[in-house]
Amino acid sequence: MLNFLNTISAYKLLTIGMTVMVLFLGLKVQAQQDSQYTQYMYNTVSVNPGYAGSRGHMSIAALHRSQWVGLEGAPKTQTLNVHSPIGYRGVGLGVSIVNDQIGPTSETYFDTDFSYTIFTSTTGRVSFGLKASAHLLDIRFSELNQDQNNPGGQDPSLQQDIKNKFAPNIGAGVYYHTEKYYLGVSVPRFLQTTHFDGENLSTAKEQMNFYLITGYVFDINETLKFKPTVLSKVVQGAPLQIDVSANFMYNEKFIVGAGYRWNAAVSAMIGFQLSSEFLIGMGYDKETTALGRATFNDGSFEIILRYDLIKKLGNLKSPRFF
């Protein structure tokens, strides 16, 4: 009976989450900027500062993503994050580094996350998070193939590289979870900063990205768990992004799953919980658009490593599935 009531509560939360997502649709939509992840369910702190410290111990994760392999100048992303609860007052802290490379452009974010958690029930917790960011932008115009036969000469605005252009930012998020389900809403970066504007040419401008993430873990039997998840993102100038995934965990060790990015890609995922502390996960995307059918595009590849510094006191709980 208790499991049934928990399932009903989870569905209510999922309904609330989808309602918030629909409200996002009413926002005016101009370009996607935040990094894209297939294994977002293992990298939540990158988009929601409320997640910091929610695992109950220090957690370290590193992720690499190569997008559209075979296409020259295609995006590559590396992330490294560490977060942990601090003391016994519901405080969580985290730091992250995110590096994006697209053609001659490199962007690096240095993030600090702060969260404060309130217990809402025996297992329920709601965390309020703040994110402070330092952003560095590099644009190597010298690597571009400019038209040497242009009668007007080369564009003067493209003659000087941009190096370590600095811009601060702030963000916030709310994250609710129990041992079985979670729901988060966040805006990682509020400030819509123009990084460079020469002769009315805006080279790079931040846009607010609105995120909703939710999921639930079903115990199919003693050895098999099933976790459906949803991530939605709204940003001005880009179509609504919805990622839906389904993962199965067998015997607390082996994870396999599939996902669908609305009107964009299908994906496959596999993971291994090598120990109670160490997880390795891999993902592959195949575009469903015309770009995915191009002979020079071999798809997108992703790998994540996560290590949890678990204090082995008393009975060690099974690895949490999110």
**Tens-digit pLDDT profile for residues 126-136:** 999 999 999 99
Q: What is the pLDDT of residue 320?
A: 74
**Tens-digit pLDDT profile for residues 158-187:** 567 778 889 999 999 999 999 999 999 999
Mean pLDDT of 292-303: 86
Q: What is the pLDDT of residue 71?
A: 86
Q: 318 falls in which pLDDT band (50, 70, 90)?
A: low
**Tens-digit pLDDT profile for residues 9-45:** 444 444 444 444 433 333 333 444 678 899 998 999 9
Q: What HEC string does the chain produce?
A: CHHHHHHHHHHHHHHHHHHHHHHHHCCCCCCCCCCCCCCHHHCHHHCCHHHCCCCCCEEEEEEEEECCCCCCCCCEEEEEEEEEEECCCCEEEEEEEEEEEECCEEEEEEEEEEEEEEECCCCCEEEEEEEEEEEEEEECHHHCCCCCCCCCCCCHHHCCCEEEEEEEEEEEEEEEECCCEEEEEEECCCCCCEEEEECCEEEEECCCEEEEEEEECEECCCCEEEEEEEEEEEECCCCCEEEEEEEEEECCCEEEEEEEECCCEEEEEEEEECCCCEEEEEEEEEECCHHHHCCCCCCEEEEEEEEEECCCCCCCCCCCCC
Query: Which structural domains are found in the chain, ordered by start?
Result: 10-309 (2.40.160.40)
